[in-house]
Amino acid sequence: MKKSLLAILITLVVILAGCVNTKSDVADKGNDNKDVKTDDSAVAIELLGMSTGEADMNIVRDQLIKNGFDVKLNIQPDYGSFTAQKDAGNYDLALSSWTTVTGNPDYAVRSLFKSDGDNSIMSDEEVDKLIEQASTETEEEFTKTYKQLEQRLVLDKAYIAPLYNSFKAQGVNKEIVNADTVRLAKSRAIAWESIDFVDTSKRATQPLIMQQPIGALTSLDPIKGNDGSINTLNTNMYVRLVNLTDDDKVVSDGSLSLNHVIAEGNQSYYFLLRDDINFTAVTDEKAVDTGERVGADDVVFSLNRAKDEKSVPDHRTYSLHESMEEIEVVTDLAELDVNQSGSEVTVKEALEEGLDAKISELVEDKNAADNAAGKYQVVKITTVNPFPQVLNYLAHQSAGIVSKKQVESINTYDVESFDVNKDIPYGDQNTVTEGAKYNNTLYASGPYILSHKNDYEAIFLKNPAYMTGTENEAKISNVTVRFIQDPDSTLSALRNGEIHIFNGVPETKYDLVEGDSKLTLQKSDSNAVSYLLFNTKNRAVSDSEDLRKAILYSINQDEILNYYQGNKNKAVSTVSPLVDTGNEVVADPAKVKEFLEAYNSSK
> In the 8-state DSSP scheme, what is residue 386?
-
Task: Looking at the structure, tell me whether residues 162 and 266 fall in a common domain.
Answer: no
Asked whether residue 63 is domain-assigned, the answer is yes
Q: What is the per-residue pLDDT for 41?
A: 75
Whether residue 345 contacts residue 352, with contact meaning beta carbons closer than 8 Å, is answered with no
Shared domain check, 158 and 59: yes
pLDDT above 80 (res 285): yes
Query: Does residue 578 contact residue 142 with C-beta atoms inside 8 Å?
Result: no
* Cα 347 from Cα 324, distance rounded (Å): 19
Task: Tell me how far apart the 2 most distant CA atoms of the chain are, in Å.
Answer: 81
Phi (first) and psi of residue 484, to 5 degrees:
-130, 110
Give the pLDDT score at 227: 86
Q: Give the pLDDT of residue 419.
A: 95
Q: Is it the case that residue 14 has pLDDT exceeding 70?
A: no
Predicted local distance difference test score (pLDDT) of residue 146? 97
251 & 395 share domain: yes
The predicted structure's pLDDT at residue 228: 87
pLDDT higher than threshold 80 for residue 33: no
Asked whether residue 141 is assigned to any structural domain, the reply reads yes
Digit-coded pLDDT (tens) for 294-309: 999 999 999 999 999 9
More confident residue, 14 or 459: 459
pLDDT for residue 336 is more than 50: yes
As for how many domains the chain has, the answer is 2
Helix (H/G/I), strand (E/B), else coil: 408:
helix
Section 307-315 average pLDDT: 94
Report the percentage of the chain scoring pLDDT > 90: 84
- Closest to 375 (Cα-Cα) out of 528, 522, 273: 273
The per-residue DSSP string of 56-103 comes to: HHHHHHHHHHHTTEEEEEEEESSHHHHHHHHHTT--SEEEEEEE-TTS
Tell me the pLDDT band of 602, cut-offs 50, 70 and 90: confident
End-to-end Cα separation, the chain, in angstroms = 40
Residue 160 within a domain: yes
Q: Residue 11, Cα to own-chain centre: how many angstroms?
A: 9
Q: Does residue 450 lie within any of the structural domains?
A: no
pLDDT given for residue 283 in this prediction? 97
* Final residue in a domain of this structure, among 358, 373, 402: 402
Evaluate the CA torsion angle 496, 502, 507, 513 in order and state its sign. positive
pLDDT of res. 259:
98
pLDDT of residue 436: 93
Give percent helix, percent strand, percent coil of the chain, each to the nearest 5.
Answer: 30, 25, 45
Alpha-carbon distances of 41 from 38, 90, 370, 592, 603, rounded to whole Å: 8, 22, 76, 15, 13
Q: Name the residue type at position 569.
A: N
| Measured distance CA(259)–CA(354) in Å, rounded | 9
Contact by Cβ (8 Å): 52, 116: no
Q: How confident is the model at residue 40 (pLDDT cuts 50, 70, 90)?
A: low
Q: Is the pLDDT of residue 170 over 90?
A: yes
Question: Using alpha carbons only, how large is the chain's radius of gyration in Å?
Answer: 24
For residue 507, what pLDDT is reported?
Answer: 84
The last residue of a domain, from among 353, 372, 402: 402
User: Which CATH number does the domain housing residue 156 bear?
Assistant: 3.10.105
- Of 354, 387, 402, the position where a domain reaches its end is 402
Distances (CA, A) of 147 to 130, 134, 153, 155, 572: 10, 10, 10, 11, 10
pLDDT for 15 equals 33
Tell me whether residue 362 is in a domain.
yes
Band of the pLDDT at 141, cuts 50, 70, 90?
A: confident
Percentage with pLDDT > 70 across the chain = 93
d(CA 7, CA 56): 9
Query: In 10 A of CB 286, how many CB atoms?
Result: 11
pLDDT, averaged across the chain: 91
pLDDT at residue number 16: 33
Contact (Cβ atoms closer than 8 angstroms) between residue 557 and residue 109: no
- Domain membership flag for residue 513: no
121 DSSP 8-state letter:
-
For residues 246 and 346, state if they share a domain: yes
What local confidence, expressed as pLDDT, does residue 214 receive?
A: 92
DSSP alpha helix (H) spans, 411-534: 487-495, 510-514
pLDDT at 20 over 70: no
- pTM for the model: 0.81
CA separation for the pair 266, 139 (Å, rounded): 14
Same domain, 113 and 250: no
In 542-580, which positions are buried (b, 16+ CB within 10 angstroms) versus exposed (e)?
bebbbbbbbbbbbbbbeebbebbeebbbbbbbbbbbbbe
Residue 59's closest CA among 575, 580, 555? 555
24 pLDDT more than 90: no
Residue 250 shares a structural domain with residue 378? yes
Q: 247-252 — which CB contacts under 8 Å span 24+ positions?
A: 247/185, 247/186, 248/103, 248/104, 248/185, 248/186, 248/187, 250/103, 250/391, 250/392, 250/395
CATH, residue 272: 3.90.76.10
**C-alpha span between 484 and 456 (Å, rounded):** 8
Does a structural domain hold residue 561? yes
Predicted confidence at residue 44, as pLDDT, reads 95
Same domain, 138 and 252: no
Dihedral sign computed on CA atoms, order 291, 294, 296, 298: positive
Same domain, 371 and 259: yes
* Residue 454 lies inside a defined structural domain of this protein: no
pLDDT value of residue 9? 35
Q: Which of 113, 120, 395 is nearest to 269 (CA)?
A: 395
Reported as a single tens digit per residue, the pLDDT across 509-526 is 999 999 999 999 999 989
Q: Is the pLDDT of residue 116 over 90?
A: no
Q: Residue 34: which pLDDT band, with cuts at 50, 70 and 90?
A: very low
> Of 387, 404, 198, 386, whose CA–CA distance to 294 is shortest?
404
Question: Is the per-residue pLDDT at 421 higher than 60?
Answer: yes
| Pair 114, 260 in one domain | no
Same domain, 262 and 364: yes
Q: Which H or E element spans position 409? A: helix 404-410
Q: Which domain holds residue 571?
A: 43-166+527-602
pLDDT the model gives residue 32: 44
- In the predicted model, what is the mean pLDDT of residues 62-83? 94
| Together in a domain, 388 and 245 | yes
CB 145 within 8 A of CB 151: no
**What does the pLDDT look like over 345-394, one tens digit per residue?**
999 999 999 999 999 999 999 999 999 999 999 999 999 998 989 999 99
Residue 557 to residues 73, 164, 426, 445, 570: CA-CA distances in angstroms? 20, 7, 43, 43, 7
User: What are 480's strand-pairing partners?
Assistant: 209, 459
| In the predicted structure, residue 286 carries a pLDDT above the cut 90 | yes
> Can you tell me whether residue 391 is helix, strand or coil?
helix
Identify the bridge partners of residue 503 per DSSP, sorted by sequence position: 170
Judge whether residue 130 has pLDDT over 90: yes
H helices, E strands: number in the chain: 17, 20
- The reply to whether 256 and 380 lie within a common domain is yes
- pLDDT over 80 (residue 5): no
